[in-house]
Structure 1
């Protein structure tokens, strides 16, 4: 009886832990998405830049996105102040 109750308690605690981890993960994902959307709204002429980047990616599928896009966006707009891309 004691082992059964102990197993039930451990199972309950594990379920609580898994639920907590999922909740933390969901919050982190929402925060990252919110930050990324905020960065998108700060770029002037983003539709034109986006269409140029998509066209460049289609024309040069084997190149990195920033190199394939070439001059699609002014320097710094692609990295939103994170410094140059290596």
Structure 2
């Protein structure tokens, strides 16, 4: 990804790459029905949104890492995130 090597994007790329590396090592946050139902019962949606957006961010960062580095572990993790974890 040559566009990511532009100097003005170096910090962003470094941060995304570090985030992706952490995402490969940590389990995905769970999106339980309990968290979803919490909004209906209490109006509180922060816990669900936090897990949901964390999962989406991990998906994007790992996808970038898989595309940029052609690392088999990143590609395998991306496949698992898409097929097993159902991040959407």
With structure 2 as the length reference, what TM-score do the two structures score? 0.31
Identify, as 1 or 2, the structure richer in helix.
2
**Higher RCO structure, 1 or 2 (CA under 8 Å, sep 6+):** 2
With structure 1 as the length reference, what TM-score do the two structures score? 0.32
> Whose radius of gyration is greater, 1 or 2?
1
